[in-house]
Amino acid sequence: MKLGLDTYSYHYGAGLWDYSPRDNAPMTLEHFLQKAAELDLDGVHLSDPRHLDSLDYGYVSDLRQKAEALGLYLELGTSGTNPDHLQSMVRTAHVLGSPVVRTFVGQPRGRSAQAMAAVVSAAAAAISQVTPVCDRYGMSLAIENHRDLTSEELVSLLELVDSEWVGICFDTGNSLALLEDPLEAAEALEPLIKTVHLKDYQVVARANGFAMVGCALGEGVVDLRGILDLLGSRHPEVRLNIASAVEKEMLPVLEEEYLEHLPETPALALGQTLRLVRDRGLREMVQLPAERGAPEDEILAAEDDLVLRSVGWARQALGRAGSDLPNSRD
């Protein structure tokens, strides 16, 4: 299995999301390519098309050549199901040399099974408009389990689309937010997986539920070794993109409003998740560097350290030898 870097691992350093560096230049695609090469990785997964300065053929083709010169693969990610946008991303991915476009539905969850069926149906109708372009370019769409659809709903979505070109981007950590066991989710989605976000979380009990705290691979509660064993035996060609992130999300799973958006989730799933939090959760809440107003260099260094530890764990888990990792952010 090939091992790559998801650019969201540096969501502080890239400055595209909820933080923008002021004293350090934001990481460009050239920075990401060099970082992946330094870490002896196989490629880079671009989690957002905003990484691209342009969609012009010359610019995108030049990026492809730079990646190939470093021996790196590229994968392109985006969001949503707008057909015009996805068709544009498929064409861009073709020029970029990416065999897949990762996206996610990204719609709010409904409060009933009927409401969720409507969300799934609408997404399927939109995605079905893109499959002829996928067929033309030999390009796969990979729909991520992005804390918006359960595994069962994702399977239903792909059954409605019914195309060999549409599959799953499996995020190893996101299923926790929908009260799913990540290994069980991997088993349910395994036949459909096109690419992977390799992620781990620590959990912390709260009065109304629990918090998910991003951590280095192997330091959280996700059964990553079980997932890697599953994928290695059935999808040895799949690309694993490290998506460690210095982030935190509160999940009020004991509040009625939260559970109303998971109308078909059995009590057993809630109980198993809360037992996991009780038995393996941290005893105290973690305060992230940005939350305590740490200097920018400390915030960026914490992000880089998380990636380095994750790469080290992944190498060991995959039985890879490698040179010593760099010990600081470039």
212, 248 Cβ separation under 8 angstroms: yes
228, 241 Cβ separation under 8 angstroms: no
pLDDT reading at 18 higher than 90:
no
The per-residue pLDDT for range 138-173, each reduced to its tens digit, is 999 999 999 999 999 999 999 999 999 999 999 999
- Given CA atoms 208, 226, 11, 295 in this order, what sign does their dihedral have? positive
Residues 6+ away with beta carbon under 8 Å from 319: none
The per-residue pLDDT for range 247-301, each reduced to its tens digit, is 999 999 999 999 999 988 999 999 999 999 999 999 999 999 999 999 999 999 9
Compute the distance between CA of residue 150 and CA of residue 178 in angstroms, rounded to an integer.
7
Task: Provide the whole-model pTM.
Answer: 0.95
Q: For Cα atoms 90, 153, 103, give the angle at the middle one, nearest 5 degrees.
A: 20
pLDDT classification of 324: cutoffs 50, 70, 90: low
The per-residue pLDDT for range 221-234, each reduced to its tens digit, is 999 999 999 999 99
Superfamily grouping for domain 2-201+220-246+294-317: Divalent-metal-dependent TIM barrel enzymes (3.20.20.150)
What are the boundaries of each domain within the chain? 2-201+220-246+294-317
Count of alpha carbons within 13 angstroms of residue 7, beta-carbon side: 27
For every residue of 228-287, DSSP letters joined together read HHHHHHH-TT-EEEE-----EEEE-TTSHHHHHT-TT--HHHHHHHHHHHHHHSBSS---
